[in-house]
Amino acid sequence: MKGHIERAYFGGTFFEYALQNRTADAVIILPDFPSRNKYDNLIKLFHDRGYHVFVPRYKGSYQSNGKFLSKNIVDDLIDFIDDLEKGQVKNLWDLKKRDFKVNRKLLVGCSFSAPIALGLAAKTQKFSHIILMSPIWDFSTYKPEAEEKDLKKLSEFVQRAYKNCYRYSFKDIMKKLKKFKELSPEFYLPILLKKPILVMHDPNDKVVSFKYTKEKLGELQNATYIEHLLGHKFTDSLISSHWQMIDKFIKINYFEKKD
């Protein structure tokens, strides 16, 4: 990787990023819940393949301001995308500003962040491609295959174990998420029926059942499915091992008009 991974704020949203020295497509990666604190390998992977890369932190998580899910999470991300489209960032290390130019924008969501990505893409219609890893599709009907992915229990655990990384006081995350209509298939599916969507999901996933993905793949008109047997997690090794097919998906669907 020729460039460095840098850090900045757009408004109250903290993010990590790596820029190309030319106009390029941008990959925006939305974190899972709870998310890792280090995305270096994934940022490096996409950057080395020619993309600008941005990883925002949800409001109320890690270095971002505010309380988690106190406001509409999709609207918070829309503010982030609006700032990104201005094409300028100030690096927190040396406080220098740097201009960049984005062609198309690709949105990546994994598990918890998948319906957030779909809601964001539907509400803004600013993304040329959507890539989903082991996706939850609908928080209102989601039933975990494994106890550790029960979101209500998980949110209680995160409040105990990540108290300085996630800041919230609610007891039931499912009730909070159901308040945001953008996260519902009834909202995003009609808008995204023809959008190029790539889904990667292990059919033996024990955390988020593949049966939901199989159902939604039958409803979408321009979805591509890549089967793998590498489990639930979104890793750079997963992307690397299937990069040829991912790259093909992006290029085949590149006929779409620029945003």
Domain boundaries, the chain: 6-251
pTM score: 0.94
pLDDT of residue 146: 59
Give strand ranges (E) for 94-241.
Answer: 97-99, 102-110, 129-133, 197-201, 223-227
Q: What is the pLDDT of residues 148-207, one digit of tens each?
A: 578 888 898 999 999 889 999 888 898 899 999 999 999 999 999 999 999 999 999 988
Q: Who contacts 2 (Cβ-Cβ below 8 Å, separation ≥6)?
A: none
Are 6 and 16 in contact by the 8 Å Cβ rule? The answer is: yes
Is the pLDDT at 61 greater than 70? The verdict is yes
Q: Which two tokens stand for residue 225?
A: 């499915």
State the fold for domain 6-251: Rossmann fold (3.40.50)
Point out the least confidently predicted range of 27-31, 75-79, 140-144. 140-144
Q: Mean pLDDT score of the chain, rounded to an integer?
A: 93
144: cis peptide before it, omega within 30°?
no
Q: What is the pLDDT of residues 201-257, one digit of tens each?
A: 999 998 899 999 999 999 999 999 999 999 999 999 999 999 999 999 999 987 544
Are 228 and 132 in contact by the 8 Å Cβ rule? The answer is: no
Tell me the pLDDT band of 2, cut-offs 50, 70 and 90: low
Distance in angstroms (rounded) separating the CA atoms of residues 22 and 14: 23
For residue 53, the cross-strand partners are 18, 27
Of the candidates 68, 159, 149, 152, which has an alpha carbon nearest to the alpha carbon of residue 116?
A: 68
